[in-house]
Amino acid sequence: MRERKWAATSAAEFTDEGAMRRPEGFRQWVFVGTTVTPNEMNKGKAEFPEFHHVYMDRAGFAHYKRTGTFRDGTVMIKELAGVASKQASSGAGYFPGGLQGLFASVKSRRQHPEAPGNWGFYGFGLAPPYEKTAEVEPVKNCVACHQAAAAQDLVFTQHYPVLKAIRAAAGGGESR
């Protein structure tokens, strides 16, 4: 019964063989932060080039806002965009070009019972509209960095101002 409820409320869908289906409408999910690793600052080739737009599914976000934790079923999205220019009327910096990569992580006891934090990591390729399904990545490909460096439950919350603001609000600080 719990499994059925999970399936009804998680934004993640899987094939019978365990591949993740590409989430629909994730660009209308909740944005939590952008980091940028320009190629030119990484010897010409960033590992994940270059802007990282990070989203969270709406129900997972609502749960995080209420509890400060990632519920079973949470989906995080990282979509990449290239750097198109370094100068605009607002000053010097980095300005994005086209979208160029889609990655997801899903916290699921059912799908990843043995994985750290029950997180599974998926890559849908670099060319929009991206692949329709993705196989779960071998643990060694993603988990090591997320375990070693992510601030909370394998999620890089330290880089997501929107989630930081929620924690600050819970502590009586900044809020919205």
Residues near a copy of itself (CB under 8 A): 26-28, 30-31, 33-38, 41-42, 46-48, 50-53, 55, 58, 61, 81, 84, 88-99, 127-130, 145, 148-149, 156, 158-162, 164-165, 168, 174-176
Tokens of 58: 């709406």
Q: Output the smallest distance, CB 94 to a copy of itself, in A.
A: 5
Q: Of 7 and 151, which CB lies nearer to a copy of itself in the complex structure?
A: 151
Do residues 112 and 136 lie in contact, with contact meaning Cβ atoms separated by under 8 Å?
Answer: yes
For residue 77, give the nearest of 107, 112, 116, 117 by alpha carbon: 107
Asked whether the beta carbons of 83 and 39 are under 8 A apart, the reply is yes
Tokens representing 126 are: 């670099």
Closer residue to a copy of itself (CB): 141 or 158: 158
* Closest C-alpha among 173, 74, 65 to residue 120: 74
**Would you state the structure tokens that stand for residue 42, as one six-digit string?**
């990484």
**Amino acid found at 104:** A
Residue 56 identity: M
Calculate the dihedral angle through the C-alpha atoms of 36, 117, 134, 84, rounding to the nearest 10 degrees: 0
Which residue lies nearer to a copy of itself by CB, 67 or 175? 175
By C-beta, is 35 or 152 nearer to a copy of itself? 35
Whether residue 68 contacts residue 170, with contact meaning beta carbons closer than 8 Å, is answered with yes
Shortest distance, position 109 Cβ to a copy of itself, whole Å = 26
The least CB distance from residue 115 to a copy of itself, in Å, is: 19
Please, what is the minimum distance in Å from the beta carbon of residue 136 to a copy of itself? 20
Q: How far is the CB of 163 from a copy of itself (least distance, A)?
A: 10
Between 36 and 110, whose beta carbon lies closer to a copy of itself? Answer: 36
